[in-house]
Amino acid sequence: TRILEVEGLSARYGHVEALRPVDLHVEDGELIAILGPNGAGKSTLMNAIMGLVPTEGRVRFRGRDVPRRAPAEAAALGIVLVPEGRGIFAPMTVAENLELGAYLLSDKREFARRHERVLSMFPRLKERLTQTAGSLSGGEQQMLAVGRALMAEPKILLLDEPSLGLAPRVIEEILQTLGELNRQGLSIILVEQKAPLVLTLARRAYLLSVGTIAAEIDPRTIKSHD
Ligand code: ADP
Ligand code: ADP
């Protein structure tokens, strides 16, 4: 069954048609990649799915229409985005950023359970709970961004270029954790510019080019040269 279905989704910024009608789907438990060069519309697509930009078309979550222009409702359904640039709050502590991820939750025991789970996935955050997010390394900030998203217990997690600006070793660590989460059943959309990064994770990828889906591919069939 499909956890997410996108039908004829388009978006524009003034006269710029950033997204032409796009169709895609994610099966329950699948990790798919969205690949494409800078400016292809990848961020716009993620923001459009969340309802963060004005769109035409439909987004369905487990068969139900996801209200447009209502990102809080998308989040409440279990669609959570780790935006490009991470979206964490630099002056706040790591602990406070994690708390924000679960702001809808009032059950303290459930909060503690999620908190512990996130820290076990990202042990590096554990020693830094009282530090400000801004004082973390880039890799740790990305881990915090993913950790904060996980505090909301998403059903499907969208990640917009989580590798951006990070060293290869940290990228690998983060991608491994995403693979682990996916094996535990989490559906994931992973946006990246470079196919080699998603080769071992995604069985299916959509190639985005000038705002439209140019192809659907198996990334493992791509020969990697870099
Ligand atoms: P990427 O291409 O990796 O998504 P960009 O540098 O294009 O990164 O975009 C960074 C931010 O700037 C995004 O929030 C995007 O929405 C915004 N942005 C990109 N292009 C424009 C533009 N032409 N005018 C205004 N904002 C833009
Ligand atoms: P990608 O994430 O693949 O780099 P984007 O979704 O950031 O692509 O951008 C797609 C197109 O929309 C680009 O031409 C970009 O310049 C334009 N764009 C993105 N954000 C804005 C914005 N806020 N205002 C105007 N144009 C934008």
Tens of pLDDT along 17-47? 999 999 999 999 999 999 999 999 999 999 9
In sequence order, which ranges of 78-213 are alpha helices (DSSP H)? 94-101, 108-121, 123-126, 138-151, 168-183
Interior angle at CA 11, CA 143 and CA 187, nearest 5:
35
For ligand 2, is residue 18 a contact (CB within 6 Å)? yes
pLDDT at 137: 97
Pocket-testing residue among 10, 34, 43, ligand 2, by greatest number of atoms within 8 A of Cβ? 43
Q: What kind and span of H or E run contains 60?
A: strand 55-61
Query: Which pLDDT value is given to residue 70?
Result: 85
What Cα–Cα distance (Å) separates residue 83 from each residue in 63, 128, 157, 218? 25, 22, 11, 25
Ligand of minimum distance to the alpha carbon of 212: 2
What residue owns the CA closest to ligand 2's atom 7? Answer: 43
Q: Give the per-residue pLDDT at 225.
A: 52
Measured distance CA(207)–CA(215) in Å, rounded: 5
pLDDT digits (tens, 9 = 90+) for 169-226: 999 999 999 999 999 999 999 999 988 899 889 989 999 999 999 999 988 787 655 4
Taking the CA atoms of 60, 66, 71 and 75 in sequence, report the sign of the dihedral they define: negative
Q: How many CB atoms lie within 10 A of CB 224?
A: 11
Closest ligand to 83 CA? 1
Given this model, what pLDDT does residue 223 score?
A: 62
Q: Look up residue 67 and give its DSSP letter.
A: P
Query: In angstroms, what is the span from residue 44 Cα to ligand 1's centroid?
Result: 9
What's the gap in Å between 38 CA and the centre of ligand 1? Answer: 9
Which residues lie below 8 Å from residue 70, measured CB to CB, with a gap of 6+?
51
